[in-house]
Structure 1
Amino acid sequence: MKRDEAGAAPPHGVLRDYYADAPDRQRFVQDLFDRTAGAYDPINNALALGSGGWYRRQALRRAGLAPGMRLLDVAVGTGAVSREAVRILGRPGDVVGLDLSAGMLAVARRNLPIPLLQAEAEAIPLADASVDFVSMGYALRHAGDLRALFTEFRRVLRPGGRVLLLEIARPEGRLALRAARFWLGRVVPAASRLFGRRAALLMRYYWDTIEQCVPPAEILRHLREAGFAEVGCDVQLGVMRAYSARKPG
């Protein structure tokens, strides 16, 4: 388990090609997403090859999201997961989005009429037991402390509430890793230059966080240690991971 000097459990170690130390990570990430918010959806749509919305919607349903629930979408970004949640729940007011990046929130605000909060994922400004479902789409690697993150998720969930974490994991096989390193680590950043230098930097950082992230078993263990039950992980195409868990009722 990787820990910083304060005893936290970050999803990966310090990436010195991008920032100097753990305290500087949040400033770097916030600035990077602020500056690339306008290009994020076109890049993301190209990566998803048209299946992004369908995959998110099916993952939410499999994890138990149903009408009548209230969902908190942590690291809402431009609203990709929230958009599918609204389609399932039927009412935009039942979805709350949270993000640290003002740039991402500005795009989300144009995309969806849902309540939005600017805050850290490890310090959610909601009351205890106030939501039925917590989602997080492809942002676990940008958190500072998995232990604090999952403790907050458990705090804001009502008894029986559910968590869904969508992520991309480092491929386990040598050939698969080599192919992913070439595609996500070289081709995608190069193609992203069409949207500017910062967009290319974002995609390089995106791959490096995937490659350096703690293995899926560590994420599952942190969920259990935070007090969650029914912890599991659905795997698609070897790299697409949908972690799910339930707060005991």
Structure 2
Amino acid sequence: MSGGREDEARPVPHPTLTEYYQNADARDGFVRQLFDQAAGSYDRINTAFSLGSGAWYRRRALWQAGLRPGQRMLDVAIGTGLVAREGVRILGRPEAVTGIDLSAGMLAEARRSLVLPLVRGRAEALPFADGNFDFLSMGYALRHVPDLVTAFVEYRRVLRPGGRLLLLEIGRPEGPLAYRAARFYLGRVVPALSRLTGGGARAGLMMQYYWDTIDACVPPATILQALRTAGLDEARCDTQLGLFRAYMAERPA
């Protein structure tokens, strides 16, 4: 499935997937174009892709990770705003949540349902001052950053001392039966449904790419070590149903 060879000392989320792009330098352009073109259909196919991990799961995860009224939240890779919407519900004020995304198409979709500060930018080069946020979230996009530690150092920088972080991800199941079921559903059924529900070939490709990045993603231990290397404390991973992972950490006080 994957090709190319990455520097083993560089903590990337997954190896280069040469069936989609030729090398690591071409990844950003491919991902940005893919999400720009499929943004309009993302919310329609999210229900099938999320396997029931809808608004209630995102809201509960944010609360359990420490998001509370009165705080300021940054949602990295906001997409269409699925995580940010639950953050607004907890915080009670849209202006308390700021969203950032590399994809202009995704930001345009987010603006349809959210009235909050939205910025175009990269996870590994956040255009915000040090210590600007109490809480940072990232929903199902960690696999798309080029370098884990570089991104996590930026997350630590923009968090205030004692600020907390939540990274929601879908991970490759460990058991063989669960893995085969996930591969069939997420790797075949969801891309097909994405094409049939009005998203067309680009939406199908986006969801096929989603599964391939899940399948090739580094294990939780690598992500937790990258969080610690970036200077974040209390790094931990909560797994639900063997598939849904919530990585949490905090900036030392």
Q: TM over 0.5, yes or no?
A: yes
Corresponding position of 1:25 = 27
Structure 1 residue identity aligned to 2:105: G
Corresponding position of 2:11 = 9
8 Å CA contact 2:13–2:143 kept in 1: the answer is yes
- 1:217 Cα deviation (Å)? 0.7
| 1:115-154 superposed matches below 5 A | 115-154=117-156
Query: Does 2:161 match 1:159?
Result: yes
> Counterparts of 2:241 and 2:52 in 1: how far apart (Å)?
15
Corresponding position of 1:189 = 191
> Counterparts of 1:221 and 1:162 in 2: how far apart (Å)?
17
Residues 5 and 47 of structure 1, relative CA distance in 2, 3 Å threshold: closer
Match for 2:85 among 71, 83, 86? 83
Find the residue that maps to 1:242 and give its secondary structure: strand
Match for 1:221 among 217, 221, 225? 225
Match for 1:248 among 229, 247, 252? 252
Residues 123 and 142 of structure 1, relative CA distance in 2, 3 Å threshold: same
> Counterparts of 1:169 and 1:238 in 2: how far apart (Å)?
8
Find the residue that maps to 2:33 and give its secondary structure: helix
Corresponding position of 2:202 = 198
Corresponding position of 1:239 = 243
Corresponding position of 1:109 = 111
- 1:137 Cα deviation (Å)? 0.1
Residues 222 and 145 of structure 1, relative CA distance in 2, 3 Å threshold: same
Structure 1 residue identity aligned to 2:30: F
8 Å CA contact 2:5–2:16 kept in 1: the answer is no
Compute the RMSD of aligned alpha carbons: 1.5
> Counterparts of 1:210 and 1:183 in 2: how far apart (Å)?
13
Find the residue that maps to 1:45 and give its secondary structure: helix
8 Å CA contact 1:3–1:9 kept in 2: the answer is no
Provide the TM-score with structure 1 as the length reference. Answer: 0.97
> Counterparts of 1:6 and 1:234 in 2: how far apart (Å)?
26
> Counterparts of 1:100 and 1:50 in 2: how far apart (Å)?
26
> Counterparts of 1:223 and 1:49 in 2: how far apart (Å)?
27
Structure 1 residue identity aligned to 2:167: L
How many percent identity over aligned positions? 63
